Amino acid sequence: MDLVVSIAIGIIIAATPLVFAAIGELVVEKAGVLNLGVEGMMIIGAISGFAVTIETGSFLAGVIAAILCGALMALLFAFMTQTLLANQVATGLALTLFGLGLAALIGQAYSGKSAPPFPKLAVPGLSDIPVLGRLLFSHDLLVYISFALVIGVAWFLSRTREGLIVRAIGENHDAAHAIGYSVVGYRYAAIAFGGACAGLGGAYLSIVQTPLWVDNMTAGRGWIALALVVFAAWRPWRSLFGAYLFGGITIMQLHSQALGVQVEPQLLAMLPYLATILVLVIISYDRTRARLNAPASLGLTFYATT
Amino acid sequence: MLRIEPRKEPSRLILYATPFIAVALTILSGFVLFSILDKDPVQATLLIFFKPLTSLYSISEMIVKATPLILIGVGLALCFQANVWNIGAEGQFTMGAICGGAVALALHGVPGFWVLPLVCAAGIAGGMIWAAIPALLRTRFNTNEILTSLMLVYVATLTLNVLMHGALRDPQGHNFPESKLFHDAATLPILISDTRAHIGFVFALLFVVLGWILLRWHVIGFQIKVSGQAPRAARYAGFSSDRVVWFSLLVSGALAGLAGIFEAAGPVGQLVPALPVGYGFTAIIVAFLGRLHPVGVLLAGLLLALTYIGGEGAQIAMKLPAATTQVFQGMLLFYLLAMDIFVNYRIRMRRAAAASGSAAQ
């Protein structure tokens, strides 16, 4: 039983950065923007959160710094793609390459340092329930926030006026513009939100999960988050499910040796990447459904004629 | 108020001027960056952008770095012109090195002029197979090639790692995760004696010319350009989009694979886990900076190779962090993309109800 619980907790910790990054990118894509710079924003969140935590000794300051820096990177992307009308795919790639370089530059001073353990937030009373208490009520605050965020985004996109406007813009930006909605304004906001979430996901990685700084520590998680949005068919709850599925695969890989599976560790390390490919194939195989799910204006440049 | 208006036709002058402006802006930003890092900006700029041009040895090293960048960049230029986003060239590079390297190690000690061509052919095949996966998934299963090609980079790197700890490890290597040094028959001839500049550069130049001819005069080059710029027109003209996807991915995979085996059979001389150093990603910048034109790729590849060598020099002489080069390269791409707006649009003072046009791609 103890092993099961510790595996479950491991899955939660492995999945949380993916939840943050995926739910943020989901909102961005719902607004019709494809930001391939998730990896770059995540790594910047990871290093800024880590550096600020070490320098100030405050987790709160670290997390806030990560959110702000992630959003700042995203605003750079927004300026390029929304104001300067640059190609979204190329700009996203540039954001990732730039982010990885900048993070390595800043991170040089922090390489090999480790952060103090992140405080767990045990819900008084409830956390003492055997098994369930450890499973549900004794995580760090960010895990609860990640769930709240998914609920919040699901509610926002389906139940609020602004959420519907965001979706309308993602489906047909010319029509939304004609009605009088500020396409560029909403998209700036969505992109910044996505960056903040990616930054937070990165910070979770460097402050809570590892907790230390290693170059390239995101190791493709930003890209996996992008795949998760496709997997989720742009639905918030399914992105949560997807993130936990991938968290599970990551943890299986770590625990399989303990369970006596005799395979090279590098072969197991391939699993999340191969699983991503497999999942993408399954999801996009049905062309009609794939087209129905994706926001119709996704990745297209919007130019207001009037 | 300022407003942007679409041009009737893209400005060619600005199209070819932007890379130079982007480089100038990057150098200017470098001044700011060096000042923040507390280094002498003038000295650092000279070290990175001019010093490498002053000695034969560093020019030869530039050629060593430029070879994979140009080879991969030409392939990516084809892909990107076709709107096929192969961002996994790093994986195709690694697979090329693995397959070519495996043949080189299997034929270790076998003399003969045919060994090296065979090794290179195996490298090309490796890169092509790795690029065929995203091509198959995109044409058969409608799967986005951006994500699949990138995921395969990690798989290729891990495969190299597994092999370095197992099948391809040098038995006499004291358990170091490295292969044997390739035999002379499987090593690339050197171009300039006493340097590492190898014959691969000649092939890079050859493929620049071939790529140019293909895009300019061959029908598939025309199909690539039409499919990229106007997919509907391409469909109407009866061009098979699957054919364009397959062709561009296979060619770029082949070139990346060739670059990979050139790297292993050239300057490195063996297989090591650290063989993929990011040429596949830097080549994305090279392709864009070269304006997706093979001749432009040649110039851009040389320029980025210069920043690699200069960056290494500055790292030693001024204790500049290694990641500085990477930041520069990222910045360069940003400036370039930011200025693309001037190619397709012009900035005007707002007048009453001006402008026509629609949402551009």
Q: For residue B203, which of B245, B258, B160 has the smallest C-alpha distance?
A: B258
| Closest residue in chain A to residue B140, using alpha carbons only | A285
At residue A97, what are phi and psi to the nearest 5 degrees?
-60, -45
Q: Which of B1, B37, B154 to mutate to test the interface with A (most CBs of A within 10 A)?
A: B154
Q: What is the mean pLDDT of residues A163-172?
A: 92
pLDDT at A168: 92
- Taking the Cβ of residue B2 and every Cβ of chain A, the question of whether any pair is shorter than 8 Å is answered with no
Band (pLDDT 50/70/90 cuts) for residue A126 is: low
Strands B2-6 and B345-349: antiparallel
Q: What is the mean pLDDT of residues B269-284?
A: 91
Domain boundaries, chain A: 2-293
Residues of chain B contacting A285 with CB distance shorter than 8 Å? 141-143
Q: Which amino acid is at B100?
A: G
Q: Is a pLDDT exceeding 60 seen at residue B198?
A: yes
What distance in Å separates the CA atoms of residue A250 and residue A268, rounded to the nearest whole number?
9
Residues of chain B contacting A270 with CB distance shorter than 8 Å? 154-155, 158-159
What distance in Å separates the CA atoms of residue B243 and residue B235, rounded to the nearest whole number?
12
What distance in Å separates the CA atoms of residue B147 and residue A283, rounded to the nearest whole number?
13
Band (pLDDT 50/70/90 cuts) for residue A197 is: very high
Residue pair B153/B90 in contact (Cβ under 8 Å)? The answer is: yes
Q: Where are the beta strands (DSSP E) in A154-242?
A: none
pLDDT at B301: 95
What distance in Å separates the CA atoms of residue A199 and residue A68, rounded to the nearest whole number?
8
Q: What is the mean pLDDT of residues B301-310?
A: 91
| Closest residue in chain B to residue A230, using alpha carbons only | B144
Q: Residues near B227 by Cβ (< 8 Å), separated by ≥ 6? A: B82, B83, B234, B239, B241, B244
Q: What is the mean pLDDT of residues A197-207?
A: 94
Q: Residues near B36 by Cβ (< 8 Å), separated by ≥ 6? A: none
B-proximal residues of A, 173-192, CB under 8 Å: 173-174
Q: Is the pLDDT higher at B124 or at B218?
A: B124
Q: Is a pLDDT exceeding 50 seen at residue B361?
A: no
Q: For residue A138, which of A147, A129, A149, A150 has the smallest C-alpha distance?
A: A129
- Helices (H) and strands (E) in chain B — how many of each? 14, 2
Residue pair A227/B148 in contact (Cβ under 8 Å)? The answer is: no
Residue pair A275/A9 in contact (Cβ under 8 Å)? The answer is: no
Q: Which of A82, A174, A277, A289 to mutate to test the interface with B (most CBs of B within 10 A)?
A: A277
- Helices (H) and strands (E) in chain A — how many of each? 14, 0
**In degrees, to the nearest 5, what angle opens at C-alpha B151 toward C-alphas B147 and B157?**
155
What distance in Å separates the CA atoms of residue B208 and residue B124, rounded to the nearest whole number?
17
Band (pLDDT 50/70/90 cuts) for residue B350 is: low
Distance from CA of B357 to the nearest CA of A (A): 6
Q: Is a pLDDT exceeding 60 seen at residue A138?
A: yes
Per CATH, domain A2-293 is 1.20.1530: no
Q: Which of B150, B165, B307, B324 to mutate to test the interface with A (most CBs of A within 10 A)?
A: B150
State the count of interchain CB pairs (< 8 A) between A and B: 152
Distance from CA of A163 to the nearest CA of B (A): 23
Q: Calculate the alpha carbon distances from B217 to B82, B223, B325 in Å.
A: 16, 11, 37
pLDDT at A122: 65
What distance in Å separates the CA atoms of residue B260 and residue B153, rounded to the nearest whole number?
13
B328 sits in which H/E element:
helix B324-339
Highest mean pLDDT among A133-137, A255-259, A285-289, B341-345: B341-345
Q: Could you please report the per-residue DSSP string of B191-239?
A: SSTTS--BTHHHHHHHHHHHHHHHHHHSHHHHHHHHHHH-HHHHHHTT-
In the block, tokens 């990175």 appear at B48
Q: What is the mean pLDDT of residues B27-42?
A: 85
Q: Is residue A36 classed as helix, strand or coil in its secondary structure?
A: coil
pLDDT at B355: 45
- Taking the Cβ of residue B10 and every Cβ of chain A, the question of whether any pair is shorter than 8 Å is answered with no
**In degrees, to the nearest 5, what angle opens at C-alpha A221 toward C-alphas A238 and B157?**
130
Burial A174-198 (b: 16+ CB within 10 A, else e): bebbeeebebbebbbbbbbbbbbbb
What distance in Å separates the CA atoms of residue A154 and residue A23, rounded to the nearest whole number?
9
Residue pair A169/A31 in contact (Cβ under 8 Å)? The answer is: yes
Residues of chain A contacting B158 with CB distance shorter than 8 Å? 266-267, 269-270
- Taking the Cβ of residue B278 and every Cβ of chain A, the question of whether any pair is shorter than 8 Å is answered with no
Q: What is the pLDDT of residues B74-118, one digit of tens each?
A: 999 999 999 999 999 999 999 999 999 999 999 988 888 899 999
pLDDT at B120: 95
What distance in Å separates the CA atoms of residue B64 and residue B58, rounded to the nearest whole number?
10
Q: For residue A224, which of A203, A208, A245, A193 has the smallest C-alpha distance?
A: A245
Q: Is a pLDDT exceeding 50 seen at residue A21?
A: yes
